[in-house]
Structure 1
Amino acid sequence: MDRPRFRAVFFHPRFWLLWLGLGLLWLVTQLPYRALLTIGRLLGAGMYRVAGERRRIAARNLELCFPEKSAKERKRLLKENFASTGIAFFEMAMSWWWSRQRLARLAHVEGLEHLKQAQLDGKGVILMALHFTTLEIGAALLGQKHTIDGMYREHGNPLFDYIQRRGRERHNLDSLAVEREDVRGMLKLLRAGRAIWYAPDQDYGAKQSVFVPLFGIQAATVTATSKFARLGKALVVPFTQERLADGSGYRLVIHPPLTDFPGESDEVDCLRINQWVEASVRECPEQYLWTHRRFKSRPPGEPKLYEKRR
């Protein structure tokens, strides 16, 4: 995709309210990091109260994935998850507008040598990530250390799309945005030895998926990871991130590449991916994106797991 460009139409009155909101967000984001954590938690508490539909989806996911926990424990985890989501709103703004030096002080990166070695070997990398609430700032921090291309879906508001892409791409001017539907473009980059951020942990429907267990539940799991690795002749390198509880920043871990991947079948590969997803989520469940209806697609004959939207 071409680099985002500022356009005169952004001065049109229909964008003034968005400009005002972005300006206020920029001002608040100048506060110290720990203050933003506190404000984010307050925002998350407010979201917990008013975002009824999302709260019900997250609560149902926690009920499905952690049946061993008591209702009280799950409610506490749910509230912490919304607090993490509130913090993510300011982490997004930090990644867009903080100086590179200020942002870099929050990064604690492990395993960068795996990306460096793949680069030396001329191998493309599928950086297999997860939809944690820290997704935006994690990508920004890693992007300062290594060129990472990203799958991208254009935002409906052109001004917001410009701000978002400009904020994301400023950390590494060599990084590229790839349209999510541009499979050919993605494979071309992988064969050229590029590293591409890719998250296979959401439900994209049964058509391009197979059903394998996740938290003990049959979950529609995309087979694209195996196909991209095979056709792009690429390594699959797991990547996890975590907001540290002591307020010192973020732990980013690039894990060793998966061995013997792709395997003997899509089912085997997807099961392996889901086992990794489950283990990673269990390490910091309060920071995972539980508001996605992960189990909305069901195998033939199985009942729906979510209530109808209200």
Structure 2
Amino acid sequence: MLSQCKFERAFLQPRHWLTWFGLGLLWLLVQLPYPVLQLLGSFLGSASRPFLKRRESIARKNIELCFPHYNDSQREKLISENFKSLGMGLLETGMAWFWPDQRVRKWFDVDGLHNLQRAQANNRGVMVVGVHFMSLELGGRVMGLCQPMMATYRPHNSALMEWVQTRGRMRSNKAMISRNNLRGMVGALKKGEAVWFAPDQDYGRKGSSFAPFFAVKDVCTTNGTFVISRLSGASMLTVTMIRKADGSGYRLHIAPEMANYPQDECEAAAFINKVIESEIMRAPEQYLWVHRRFKTRPQGEASLYV
């Protein structure tokens, strides 16, 4: 089922007032000039670090595992920049949901839009492989302004936040599809749609293979990319958006269509992880390192987060 965007009177009940207050505060903050938002985002991210010790521990472990050649100073710098990026990501969510199109367009440029247009030629579906950068919400809004598409997602536990995020995400896109709705994804691709799908998180042992990711040998990797590709016959390419190093906004990168995608499930998992690694290295400090990417381990192997 595609996500619907319907307001309910129950959202006005007192139990939701704190959520409304937070959303209102976020709306007010993102009215500030973009250079001020950059400074504020970095400050909020750094200030949150003492209160997010568990997340800091997860990020540190992920970085140690992925980049064993980094020394302590390099790791600390990456973690520090990652938390600044985390704070900016909160404000970018507000920018994605509340900014008018004209203001969003002012702060990004695109590299490779012709790659997506070529892949969609002759009404062929395109699986857009995404990566969980902190600017993901804004990246989806930007992508929709270039060429509206559909996206897979995990429905929010809060009905109010489900309405808010769906309304925000559909300002420039076509529809949201639950990541468990395989039939919906395949059907959309067979109709020639572009559908965003992010295979870079740990979705559990079911429907996954273990494949290398950076310096970690066995990483639980969803087979969803392989299954959807085989069932739909869609072309595949990556789309990622990162903040420019000079602070002048964002660049949306649309890669050429993937070639030589493996026909074997396990080889395909290793292949897609290599693709994701390459995208992460565009701006590793902006990636979602606070996610427990290595939570699921091979049978009998101890947790890496103890």
TM-score range, shorter chain: over 0.9
Partner of 2:295: 296
3-state SS, counterpart of residue 69 of structure 1: coil
1:186 aligns with 185
User: Which residue does the alignment assign to 1:159?
Assistant: 160
Between the aligned partners of 2:68 and 2:3, the Cα distance in structure 1 is 47
CA distance in 2, matches of 1:24, 1:17: 11
Amino acid at match of 2:163: Y
Give the 5 Å matches for 1:16-55: 16-55=17-56
Q: CA deviation at 1:147?
A: 1.5
Gaps of at least 5 residues in structure 2 are none
Tell me which residue corresponds to 2:269: 270
**Residue by residue, what CA displacement relative to the aligned partner does 1:98-127 show, whole Å, maximum 9, x if unpaired?**
110000111211111122123332111110
Deviates more, 1:241-250 or 1:188-197: 241-250
CA contact 2:3–2:177 (8 Å) conserved in 1 = no
1:264 shift after superposition:
3.0
Task: State the shift of 1:270 in Å.
Answer: 1.2
- Determine if the alignment matches structure 1 residue 259 to structure 2 residue 252: no
Is 1:67 matched up with 2:93?
Answer: no
Aligned length: 304
284-293 or 271-280, which deviates more: 271-280
* Residues 1:222 and 2:222 aligned together: yes
Give the whole-Å Cα distance in 2 for the aligned partners of 1:2 and 1:88. 23
Structure 1 distance, partners of 2:240, 2:179, is 21
- 1:196 is aligned with what amino acid? V
Task: Give the distance between the partners of 1:264 and 1:29, measured in 2 at CA.
Answer: 46
How far apart are 1:279 and its partner, in Å? Answer: 2.0
Partner residue of 1:107? 108
Letter in 1 for 2:54: E
Shift in Å at residue 152 of structure 1?
Answer: 2.4
Separation of aligned partners in 2, 1:163 and 1:206: 31
2:151: which partner in 1?
150
- Quote the offset at 1:2 in angstroms: 5.2
- Residue in 2 that maps onto 1:207: 206
Using the size of structure 1 for normalisation, the TM-score is 0.95
Match for residue 235 of structure 1?
235
Amino acid at match of 2:136: L
The two structures have a TM-score, normalised by structure 2, of: 0.96
Question: 1:166, 1:52 → 2: CA distance?
Answer: 32
Q: Are 1:282 and 2:281 matched, yes or no?
A: yes
Report the alpha carbon displacement of residue 202 of structure 1 after superposing the two structures with TM: 0.9
Q: Distance in 1 between matches of 2:236 and 2:103?
A: 31
For structure 1, the 5+ residue unaligned runs are none
Give 1:166 deviation, angstroms.
0.7
Question: What is the correspondence of 1:72-87 to structure 2 with a 5 Å cutoff?
Answer: 72-87=73-88
RMSD: 1.3
SS of the counterpart of 1:139? helix
Structure 2 residue identity aligned to 1:229: S
